[in-house]
Structure 1
Amino acid sequence: MDQESLNERETRAWVRFQHMRIEINVVLARMLTRDFGLTEADFVILLRLSNSPECRLRARDMAAALQWDRSRLSRQVSRMETRGTVMRAPSEGDARGYDVVLTDAGRAAFQAAWPSYVSGIRHCFADVLSPHQLDALTDIAETIDRHFIAQHWPGGLNDPAKADGARTTAAGLELRPAEDSLESAS
């Protein structure tokens, strides 16, 4: 098979996947901004903090979980601090780092937006698909996630830190914790 091009089936699947992902994200992002004054970035941080013990996370852990570089997270946290939805606090045991902490205003903003966000997911995604399609899509996503973790996550086969020949197998890696899921945010 030609490694420099996709066949018709692969191209069609990839294009439809990208189109679907972008369309759903655009609808949800517009709703968050229009109805709640939140950006997507605001919302994912509020979601992650809402699911965290004591509604706080080390900045470096949040950056890693979101797959953002630390400077992107720092700029986003600064914007959110200005609006009063989060604050920085010293990290216990890490004098150089800081924790991102959900404020009462941030909690209120998240709680106000969450029902509409879920409704938007239902409207644009969950209610459009049959139970069989949802199960198939979940299986597809989990398969790709396992590949990603094994091949592209720190410690995976393609991690530059593993260039010394050490290998991590997919069997030794687990999916990300359930707290990453939307269902645990409610």
Structure 2
Amino acid sequence: MDKAWLDAEEQRVWRGFLRMNSSIYEELERDLRDRDGLTLTEYGILAHLSEMPDRRMRMRDLADTVIVSKSRLSHQIARLERDGHVRREACTDDRRGFWAVLTEAGAEALRVAAPGHATRVRSLVFDRLTPEQLDGLREIVRALGGTPEGPPDGSPGR
């Protein structure tokens, strides 16, 4: 078999994976936007900042954490800043660097959005899986390099 192409079963699984990923992402995006006025990326920014000491992260590290380009992160941070959820602070040890800092308003927006978001994630993913399937999914995610380290303080994820 020519390894330059996916075989029929690989192609079916790959396309199914892409459809599933897109469908879940779009539904979570729509739900957050309609219910809380946040994009999924903005929610991720707020959640990651809430888990950090002093609720702050370097912008470049935050871009890597929420898996967006630096330019897209800058756009999202500008919107969150405009809404009072985040503020930028210059890094004293790097003139070119900035911190993104979660404000009280941002923490409150996250507290309001988190329960509904968690419920929707559960309904779209976890409630549809048996415990064995969840174990399998965990192993697949780990094998593909997608397992996050989790919140640094050991708190439950959002």
User: Could you tell me the TM-score, scaled by structure 2's length?
Assistant: 0.91
| Structure 1 unaligned regions, length at least 5 | 147-174
For the 8 Å contact 1:50–1:107, the answer to whether it is kept is yes
Alignment partners' CA distance in 2, 1:64 and 1:125: 24
2:68 is aligned to 68
CA distance in 2, matches of 1:95, 1:115: 38
Q: Number of residue pairs matched?
A: 156
RMSD: 1.8
Alignment of 1:68-87 (within 5 A): 68-87=68-87
Match of 2:100 in 1: 100
Q: Deviations over 1:30-83 (max 9, x none)?
A: 110011001112111111101111111011111122333322211211111111
Alpha-carbon distance change, 69 to 23 in structure 1, aligned in 2, over 3 angstroms: closer
Contact 2:90 2:99 in 1 (8 A): yes
Question: Which residue does the alignment assign to 2:117?
Answer: 117
Structure 2 counterpart of 1:179: 151
Q: How does 1:35-74 map to 2 (within 5 A)?
A: 35-74=35-74
Per-residue deviation, residues 66-107 of structure 1 (Å, max 9, x unmatched): 333322211211111111111101224222211000011111
Partner SS, residue 127 of structure 1:
helix
Deviation, 1:177, is 2.3
Residue 87 of structure 2 contacts residue 101 of structure 2 at CA under 8 Å; is this kept in 1?
yes
| Whole-angstrom distance in 1 between the partners of 2:98 and 2:44 | 18
Q: 2:41·2:66 contact (CA, 8 Å) conserved in 1?
A: no
Q: What is the identity, as a one-letter code, of the residue corresponding to 1:20? A: M
Task: Tell me what 2:142 maps to.
Answer: 142
In structure 2, the partner of 1:152 is none
- The TM-score, its normalising length taken from structure 1, stands at 0.78
Letter aligned with residue 49 of structure 2: L
Q: How far off its partner does 1:176 sit?
A: 4.6
Larger Rg: 1
Distance 1:30 1:66 in 2: 18
Q: Secondary structure at the match of 2:134?
A: helix
Identity of aligned residues (%): 35
Residue 55 of structure 1 aligns to which amino acid in structure 2?
A: R
- State how far apart, in whole Å, the 2-side matches of 1:65 and 1:119 are: 23
Which consecutive residues of structure 2, in runs of 5 or more, have no partner in the other structure? none
Question: 1:50·1:185 contact (CA, 8 Å) conserved in 2?
Answer: no
SS in 1 for 2:57: strand
Matched, 1:15 2:15: yes
Comparing both chains, which one has the higher relative contact order based on Cα–Cα distances under 8 Å and sequence gaps of 6 or more? 2
